[in-house]
Structure formats: structure tokens, C-alpha cells
């Protein structure tokens, strides 16, 4: 998606340790005009697919998911991150390892809002090692719903997540795939 | 807002301890059609006000803030909750006491995204004791930005927050104010 790649090149900041900061427009300050274009692009890429629910994860996926959901005219459900040990039986839950924060957390979705008959599109802002996306896919599986695909705004193509998800046969659409980036020069190369 | 009150009556669940569960359409599963009507209503209530930024707090405020932001054609900034002790100097931070979770947490906003010249509308899903909203107002003050007002989806009118915020002279618009509710009968009375 050209508009997105241009924006990442203009406002993204490459930091040491393969960090791409896009918090001026994507995940701290949020440019909702760009989100609308992102939503339309997801709608185009999953055209013809039957989708009745969008699943995302708190916090930074929620804005993109909501704007995208209007394009599909479906509700959003967001998975909650929790470190609570005793989860009540009325939720689906799985564990996700966060490399960024160096810890394992539980993600949960209420059984009320995901289940058999649901055709689910997962939306998230980033795909790197794929752990969050695997966790969301696991929640869909546990619920008996059908996973139609996953739409990602920025995929770090040099990390394992994309290959891992595609190898599972999941229909993955990433709007910008970063092939490489250089924290010395600030250069970003897209696939 | 009649549409919202009707929806709360229909799908809201009154639980023991003054808990109003609206997670089927507001803060776990999210009805983005309703969000659009909510956004339009905020736009109507703050018509004529100069607003160039919407501030909210993760996680459940983000979806409503993003849809509302499209009505105002402004970006959203969301404050992050953190328990990290050492916050870098490039953020504004204040403490918020959570009664729901029985703990104190820091909320932070990057200095890059809030500052002098900004005219800020705060948007959030709930107002009860007002601690989160006070915290957000404090971040606006720290940044040197101007607080234009606060738009809340559901105010628990029987708790202190609304009075507290209005007493400070903040222009507060709550789309539904719950005057009382009964966890035995499930009855909800609006102001």
C-alpha cells in the first residue's frame, strides 16, 4: 500500500534493536484519515470473503479494527491481555509470549462474543515474531469459529512471523512489509 | 441520547456492586454502527468548539475515540497505562487510582503528541469516580494544551465523578447518565 509505505518512510523512526517507531500516526497518536484508507484496503483485499466479525487485541489494534469494521459492517471483539491467574470459565484463553516486554501473558475473549458460526478476520497493527497473531488464531480455534484471514498493517518481513503464519495456510494480508531497515541511516526497504 | 439509553436498557446487565456490564456492544465486543452515532452526537454537542486533538485512554476508549475523531477530522492520542517505575523524561505522566482493579497506575502521553496550542477533547467510555478523567485532564494541563471538554458515553450519575468534573468548570457531556440501577430487578433509571 503506497500511501502507507510513504508515510512509514516519512514519519517512521528506525531505532536500535530492529525497532520501528510509528507512534506519531499508528499506535500512540493515531491518524484516523490514514486508518480509513487502511480499512478500505483491507476491504479490497478480503473482497468476496464472508466475514461477520473482526477480532483484534488491545490496545493499539483497536482503533484500526474499529475503522476497518465499518468498511465490513461487522462488530469488533478485542482480546484482553491479563496477568490474572484464575480466569473464570466463561472465556477462551491462551498464552502469548511477548519479546518486547519479556514476559508471558494470557489473552482472553468472552465465550459470549466468539463461537461457532462466526467467520473471523483478525486485524492488528504489527506482525513480527507472530506470537500475538498465533494467540488470536488459537482463540478463534478454541471458540469453534472459522478464521477467514488476518490483516496486518506493518509486517516485519525479516522476522519469522509472516512465514510462520503463511505456512499454516492462513490468508495473511500485510499492507506494508518491511524487508530491511537500518538504524544508522534510517533507510527502510519494503518488499 | 435515546438510541444509547435504549441499547443500555436492552443489552446492559446490572451486577452486584454497582457494576453495569455493557461488554456486548461497548467495551469488549464493539458495535461500530452505534459508535458512529455516538461520534455524531459528540460532534453535535461540541459544535462550534475549536478542537484539534482527541485524547483518550487505553483500552476501551480507543475505538469510540477513533470513530469520533473522524467526525471532527482530528487525530487521536491515547494515554498508556503503565506500572513501570522509571519513566523517561519525554513523556507527561500522572497517577490514577483504579477502584475496579484496586491499584494505582501511571498514565503517560509522549510530549511529542500533546502540547501548547493543542485544543483537546477527552473521550472515554465510562465516568464513575472520575479518577481516569482527572488524570487525563492533568496530562492536558501538564502539556500546556487547552482542555476544551470531555465527552463520556456512560456516566454513573450516582457516583462522584460527574459532580467533581463539573465543579472544576470542565465542559462535560455524557451521552447517557445512569441515575440508579437495581441488580435485583435489572432496572436502570436515566437522568
Q: DSSP readout, chain B?
A: -HHHHHHHHHH-EEETTTEEE-TTTTSSEE-HHHHHHHHHHHHHHTTT----EEEEETTTHHHHHHHHHHHHT--EEEEEEE--S---TTEEEEEEEETTTTEEEEEEEEGGGS-TT-EEEEEEEEESSSHHHHHHHHHHHHHT-EEEEEEEEEEETTSSHHHHHHHTT--EEEEEEEEEE-TTT--EEE-
Question: What mean pLDDT comes out for the span B68-93?
Answer: 86
Question: What mean pLDDT comes out for the span B52-78?
Answer: 98
Q: Indicate whether this complex's ipTM tops 0.90.
A: yes
Q: Using the predicted structure, report yes or no on whether residue B89 has a pLDDT greater than 80.
A: no
User: Mind telling me how many Å the CA of B158 is from chain A's nearest CA?
Assistant: 28
Specify the range with the lowest mean pLDDT, choosing from B85-94, B99-108, B122-131.
Answer: B85-94
What's the pLDDT at A40? 98
Rounded to an integer, what distance in angstroms lies between the CA atom of residue A144 and that of residue B7? 28
What's the pLDDT at A84? 60
User: Mind telling me how many Å the CA of B167 is from chain A's nearest CA?
Assistant: 30
Which tens digits make up the pLDDT trace of B134-172? 999 999 999 999 999 999 999 999 999 999 999 999 999
Count of pairs with CB atoms under 8 A, one residue in A, one in B: 102
Could you tell me what percent of chain B has a pLDDT over 70? 97
Say whether A77 and B35 touch across the interface (CB within 8 A).
Answer: no
Rounded to an integer, what distance in angstroms lies between the CA atom of residue B191 and that of residue B183? 18
- What single DSSP character describes residue A157? T
What's the pLDDT at B32? 98
Q: Which of B30, B73, B75 sits opposite A76 (nearest CB)?
A: B30
Cis-peptide into A7, omega within 30 deg? no
Say whether B70 and A112 touch across the interface (CB within 8 A).
Answer: no
Sequence-ordered list of residues with C-beta below 8 angstroms from that of B190, at least 6 positions apart, any chain: B5, B176, B177, B178, B179
What's the pLDDT at B53? 98
Q: Which positions of chain A have pLDDT values less than 50?
A: none
B63 to chain A: which residues are within 8 Å by CB?
Answer: 62-63, 65-66, 76, 78
Say whether A36 and B80 touch across the interface (CB within 8 A).
Answer: no
Q: Which of A59, A66, A109 sits opposite B67 (nearest CB)?
A: A66
Q: Which of B24, B58, B110 sits opposite A58 (nearest CB)?
A: B58
Say whether B33 and A73 touch across the interface (CB within 8 A).
Answer: yes
What's the pLDDT at B84? 61
What's the pLDDT at B103? 86
Question: What mean pLDDT comes out for the span B107-134?
Answer: 97
What's the pLDDT at A101? 73
- pTM confidence score: 0.96
Place B83 in a pLDDT band, splitting at 50, 70 and 90: low
Amino acid at each position: 500500500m503506497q500511501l502507507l509505505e510513504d508515510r512509514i518512510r516519512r514519519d517512521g523512526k528506525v531505532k536500535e534493536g530492529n525497532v520501528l517507531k510509528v507512534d506519531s500516526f499508528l499506535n500512540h497518536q493515531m491518524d484516523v484519515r490514514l486508518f480509513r484508507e487502511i480499512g478500505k484496503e483491507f476491504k479490497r483485499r478480503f473482497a468476496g470473503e464472508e466475514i461477520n466479525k473482526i477480532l483484534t487485541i488491545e490496545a493499539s489494534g483497536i482503533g484500526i479494527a474499529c475503522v476497518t469494521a465499518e468498511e465490513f459492517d461487522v462488530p469488533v471483539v478485542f482480546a484482553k491481555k491479563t496477568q490474572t491467574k484464575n480466569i473464570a470459565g466463561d472465556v477462551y484463553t491462551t498464552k502469548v509470549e511477548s519479546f518486547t516486554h519479556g514476559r508471558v501473558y494470557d489473552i482472553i475473549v468472552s465465550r459470549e462474543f466468539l463461537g461457532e458460526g462466526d467467520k473471523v478476520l483478525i486485524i492488528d497493527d504489527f506482525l513480527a515474531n507472530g506470537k500475538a497473531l498465533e494467540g488470536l488464531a488459537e482463540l478463534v480455534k478454541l471458540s469453534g469459529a472459522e478464521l477467514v484471514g488476518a490483516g496486518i498493517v506493518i509486517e516485519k518481513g525479516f522476522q519469522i512471523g509472516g512465514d510462520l503464519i503463511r505456512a499454516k495456510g492462513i490468508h495473511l494480508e500485510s499492507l506494508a512489509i518491511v524487508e530491511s531497515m537500518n538504524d544508522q541511516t534510517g533507510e527502510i526497504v519494503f518488499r
